Structure 1
């Protein structure tokens, strides 16, 4: 990555949208450039390489979800069930567009691909602290709050995966509703 600024940000967002709609697979920088109306030289200038570009895509996708959670947890007086319900609604709506890209990048992290290496640090850990804090405010001891937060993240991602594979978002919504009723303090 060699530059920053609005042009780079717009180009990155165009790549994210392209990949969300068509996946990563083995798409070259030239193919991504053509699909986003730029040149492969501009992608190299802004991101250094295909792997650098994909690493930036990983960061954008994860940052957006964490910003949503941060906004929800910052609202005073909001209980854990309401936070998780609202977060689920927001994330599951976005997953219809960005979910396949998220899971494809997650698979790249599992395979140890360099551009997705940062997901080892960002895919789970940054979610535990804010959710854990909400659960602690609701009365759970710190260790139990962290464990429950991990359970919430895992359940939500599993249900999103299920909905994306089957197309049964209504069923996944109902399952998440049941899960929050069981797993979260009122």
Structure 2
């Protein structure tokens, strides 16, 4: 089925907004400022996304979708947590990760429309791990890995202590490896 021009335009705008927010962050930028940065009008953003908050959620959702696709590739080739960490820790993703944590916190506080991302922000990842491993992954270990990854990311975006956070991630990778080895 062919995509309508409206859906194609929304996709183009979302791709441009993800790139813009990765490069320059969101911060307190208005809808008008974001629109100008991607070469459109705030009215077009409202048409395609509804509101600034719904636009932020669309960006977070799109980035999460892209990362889940990457997770499937990494699990398939056996590199798992360490490879995912190497991807997520990249400095060019920090602004998007800050946006994720902002939206997540607003949802946890019960603020609409951010509540719509919960509990899916956890469940979708756990489902993806189960799907990518043909249900071979221990659900508790998958949740622990997600929680550790997000905790490390929160530490990283808050402190920019690459060396310290990377060392903690490496210890977790070693811990997982020792758990997997003892289970065999």
Q: Which residue of 2 aligns with 1:83?
A: 80
In structure 2, the residue corresponding to 1:9 is in which secondary structure? helix
Per-residue CA shift, 1:2-44, capped at 9, x if unaligned?
A: 9300x3222112222333423243x432232223221112112
The 1:177/1:147 distance shift into structure 2, 3 A limit, reads same
Q: Which residue of 1 aligns with 2:123?
A: 125
Is contact 2:57-2:103 (8 Å) kept? no
CA distance in 2, matches of 1:83, 1:49: 36
Of 148, 158, 161 in structure 2, the residue corresponding to residue 155 of structure 1 is 148
**1:1-186 superposed matches below 5 A:** 3-5=6-8, 7-20=9-22, 21-25=24-28, 27-75=29-77, 78=78, 82-93=79-90, 95-132=93-130, 134=133, 137=136, 145-184=138-177, 185-186=180-181
In structure 1, the residue corresponding to 2:119 is in which secondary structure? helix
CA distance in 1, matches of 2:125, 2:51: 29
What TM-score do the two structures reach when normalised by structure 1?
0.79
The 1:167/1:51 distance shift into structure 2, 3 A limit, reads closer
Per-residue CA shift, 1:33-92, capped at 9, x if unaligned?
A: 2232211121122223323322311211211111111122233xx2xxx31111111111
What's the Cα RMSD here?
Answer: 2.5
Q: Which 4+ stretches in 1 moved above 6 angstroms?
A: none
Is contact 2:81-2:173 (8 Å) kept? yes
Question: Offset at 1:135?
Answer: 9.9
Per-residue CA shift, 1:135-175, capped at 9, x if unaligned?
A: 964xxxx7xx1111111111111111112222111221221
Structure 2 spans left out of the alignment, 5+ residues: none
CA distance in 1, matches of 2:124, 2:68: 8
What TM-score do the two structures reach when normalised by structure 2?
0.79
CA distance in 1, matches of 2:48, 2:134: 41
